[in-house]
Amino acid sequence: DGGITQSPKYLFRKEGQNVTLSCEQNLNHDAMYWYRQDPGQGLRLIYYSQIVNDFQKGDIAEGYSVSREKKESFPLTVTSAQKNPTAFYLCASSNTGDTEAFFGQGTRLTVV
Amino acid sequence: KQEVTQIPAALSVPEGENLVLNCSFTDSAIYNLQWFRQDPGKGLTSLLLIQSSQREQTSGRLNASLDKSSGRSTLYIAASQPGDSATYLCAVRGSRLTFGEGTQLTVNP
């Protein structure tokens, strides 16, 4: 099946810990995105990548880091510098330009 | 910076009613506009994609229009059903994919 897989579905983080959220796609898409969604709010862009080994900050990149070593993978690390990480995280992919974007099923991160 | 606004923020209608959701954006230099559906606690499901050169797209009971020059799009849902209850999001593709805050739709039996 072609698509985007996010794991884990639920993640719990202790104060001061770094955690990494996985996003893998087998759609052969060039571009990948990470969004954060808080209750009752829209999606805010954290980071995006349009090509392997290159990525750009979105609107709320502070406290997050990413890598894009492989076309199919775009992991997001939530660092201890992110003071309010509890949220729903969504990964998306598309080809560049005039094409449709597809989303994974999300990871819900909770700080305990 | 692209800004996307969706009106209304919430909508409650009786089953069978036709309805329109609105999306506006500030920068008309876009590649496309996409409408998504999100069920509670789930990811986004793509409903319709309108290319920048197109005026509308249809899928079943859904019809989306795009007026790029005025920065507006509408999503028309015909003969609404309780299963249509969800949050509907529009997103515009420029150098990045920018979302509105969504319209939460409730269709009452």
- In tens, the pLDDT along A49-79 reads 999 999 999 999 999 999 999 999 999 999 9
Identify the residue whose tokens are 């969604």.
Answer: A37
Q: What letter would DSSP give residue B84?
A: G
Hey, how many other C-beta atoms are within 10 angstroms of the C-beta on A19?
A: 19
- pLDDT averaged over chain B? 95
pLDDT of B90 higher than 70? yes
pLDDT of A89 higher than 70? yes
Q: What is the mean pLDDT of residues B86-95?
A: 93
Cα A7–A11–A12 angle (5° rounding)?
165
The 3-state DSSP class for residue B82 equals helix
Residues 69-98 of A with CB under 8 A from B: 88, 90, 92, 94, 97-98
pLDDT of B59 higher than 80? yes
pLDDT band at A42 (very low <50, low <70, confident <90, very high): confident
A69 CA to centre of own chain: 15
- Residue A44, classified by CB atoms within 10 Å of its CB into exposed (0-12), middle (13-18) or buried (19+), is middle
The 3-state DSSP class for residue B9 equals coil
pLDDT at A8: 94
Q: Are B85 and B106 in contact (CB under 8 A)?
A: yes
- pLDDT averaged over chain A? 92
pLDDT at B35: 97
Min Cα–Cα distance to chain B from A16, Å: 26
- Residue A80, classified by CB atoms within 10 Å of its CB into exposed (0-12), middle (13-18) or buried (19+), is middle
Hey, how many other C-beta atoms are within 10 angstroms of the C-beta on B108?
A: 11
pLDDT cut 70: percent of chain B above it:
100
pLDDT of B1 higher than 90? no
Q: How many residues does chain A have?
A: 112
pLDDT of A99 higher than 90? no
Q: Which residues contact A53 (CB under 8 A, 6 or more apart)?
A: A68, A69
pLDDT at B20: 97
Contacts of B46 in chain A (CB under 8 A): 100-103
pLDDT at A62: 96
Handedness of CA A72, A110, A45, B85 (dihedral sign): positive
Q: What is the mean pLDDT of residues B1-17?
A: 95
pLDDT at A83: 86
pLDDT at A2: 65
Min Cα–Cα distance to chain B from A14, Å: 22
Joined together, the tokens standing for residue A12 give 């719990």
Q: Which residues contact A70 (CB under 8 A, 6 or more apart)?
A: A52
Could you tell me what percentage of chain B is helix, strand and coil, using 3-state DSSP and rounding each to the nearest 5? 5, 60, 40
Min Cα–Cα distance to chain B from A10, Å: 11
- Rounded to whole angstroms, the Cα distance separating B88 from B105 reads 7
pLDDT band at A1 (very low <50, low <70, confident <90, very high): low
pLDDT of A98 higher than 80? no
